[in-house]
Amino acid sequence: MTAAIALAGCGHTVDVVERNRDWSVTGWGLSLTGPSLRALQRLGLADACIDGGFGLTQISNCDSAGRTRNVIDLPLLLGPDMPALAGLSRGVLHEVLRDAALARGAVLHTGMSVAALEQAADGVTARLTDGSARHVDLVVGADGIRSTVRDMLGMPAEPAYTGQMVWRAIVPRPGWATTLHTFAGPVHNAGLIPISQDQAYAFVTENHADSGVLPQEELAERMRDLLNVFSGRVAEVAATIKDPELVVRRPVHAGVVDGPWHRGRTVLIGDAAHAPSPQMVSGAALAIEDSLVLAEELGLHDDVETALEAFGRRRLERCRLVVETSVKVGELEREGRHAEAHKLQDRCHQVMAQPI
């Protein structure tokens, strides 16, 4: 969506092909860090996202009883009077982005995907699953961690399972939840992120987890079981996790395509090219930044492939740093080395604050 907004805003004709028929989203909430908000501000959308969510300026890292052990002051990239980070529901974010894409003139198609790509010197023919075909100047594969476009391009970069499982649940926001909280447990880690005045999402990062699927009706009880070793504030939140339909459980995969993210006039962006684990809460930031940089480079070069090469040069090392840092932080968490993990997170956030 941000790619569609950025490209349409530069005068390109944009069609978005979405597999889901109803724009349904996976998961409940997410965090837009400072780099995310900075990029969204350039698209004119930061205020709408902040207003639709909950603005934050700090990360409070706590022990299993809820005692604060470390506070990270996040860079205020939008200025001293604006939040450094916003938590919000995925549904609110997608609504903001859909409205903006439509307002910029992008055409949105649902219930279809790309079945095949045929590269040519003057463009790409995309054959779609509804039987139609489009000859276009550029195809942008923004189709996530299990990207089919990546497979079509022959890029061997299947993200690896990190050994962690993330559980998330929508809960009422406690009055004390005005920062992003993390809680270091003896085996697993937990956290809470406000996404509105009334709601937050709680998460548990389960270490050494079996990646198999569990019955949906068991998820709330099992998530509470994982939180039994926590006390204080976490126990307060755990008691409110009751509806299994409000719990999602996902394996953590991470990886980066090492080297050109394009073949001919088809390019990967977002998780299709670089998927960090959630420890750096920066997957959205990288994807939105990709969109802006791609639009910029297409405006700077007459030749599409030259623009795509320049795009990759600007993005690869920054994205690789976030992916590798996120994986390292996960390893430190599994080893119980939380102080080291927090320092590494803080350093990476400072690097991310630099201009794209």
pLDDT, tens digit (0-9, with 9 covering 90-100), for 244-290: 999 999 999 999 998 899 999 999 999 999 999 999 989 999 999 99
Q: What is the mean pLDDT of residues 100-104?
A: 97
pLDDT above 70: residue 215: yes
Q: Are strands 139-141 and 68-73 parallel, antiparallel or unpaired?
A: unpaired
77 lies in a domain?
Answer: no
266 lies in a domain?
Answer: yes
Cβ neighbours for 62, distance < 8 A, ≥ 6 positions apart = 68, 69, 181, 182, 183, 184, 233
14: containing domain: 2-55+85-159+254-334
Buried b / exposed e along 136-172 (16+ C-beta atoms within 10 A):
eebbbbbbbbebbbbebbebebebeebbbbbbbbbbe
Please give the model's pTM, rounded to 2 decimal places. 0.93
pLDDT, tens digit (0-9, with 9 covering 90-100), for 167-193: 999 999 999 999 999 999 999 999 999
201 lies in a domain?
Answer: no
Q: What is the mean pLDDT of residues 346-354?
A: 91
Work out how many domains the chain is built from and give that number. 1
Predicted pLDDT at 342: 87
pLDDT above 80: residue 311: yes
pLDDT category at 25 given cuts 50, 70, 90 is confident
Q: CATH number, domain at 287?
A: 3.50.50.60
Torsion-angle region of 155 (φ positive above 0: left; ψ -120 to 50: alpha; else: beta) = beta
pLDDT category at 27 given cuts 50, 70, 90 is low
Tokens describing residue 166: 């993330």
149 lies in a domain?
Answer: yes
200 lies in a domain?
Answer: no
Residue 89 φ/ψ, nearest 5 degrees:
-75, 150
Q: How far apart are CA 20 and CA 78, in angstroms?
A: 34
Cβ neighbours for 163, distance < 8 A, ≥ 6 positions apart = 207, 208, 209, 252, 330, 334
285 lies in a domain?
Answer: yes
115 lies in a domain?
Answer: yes
Q: What is the mean pLDDT of residues 52-66?
A: 94
